[in-house]
Amino acid sequence: MATCDMCGNDYDKTFTVTRSGETRTFDSFECAIHMMAPACSHCGCRILGHGVETEEGLYCCANCARESGQQQVVDRA
């Protein structure tokens, strides 16, 4: 069995995730998301989709980007 890098659970169905050369072991997607998903530069929530990226940061949505001063970001074209 392997131990989850996030919660420490010793579990027989762990999986690994590799990002930028760093490999981590998890017992659930919840733990993987909590440890590895990027956080919104404005509100801090974990970004599970594509998010919105500007030169100043990565945001969960256009509203958070605008709240951070990135006025060029819009929800719809």
- pLDDT, one tens digit per residue, over 16-63 is 999 999 999 999 999 999 999 999 999 999 999 999 999 999 999 999
**Location of structure tokens 């997607």:** 29
Q: Spell out the residues 6+ positions from residue 39 whose beta carbon is closer than 8 angstroms to its own.
A: 45, 46, 47
Q: CA 30 to CA 60: how far, in whole Å?
A: 18
Q: What is the pLDDT of residue 75?
A: 79
Q: Enumerate the β-bridge partners of residue 22.
A: 19
Q: What residues contact 30, with CB distance under 8 A and at least 6 apart?
A: none
Q: pTM value?
A: 0.79
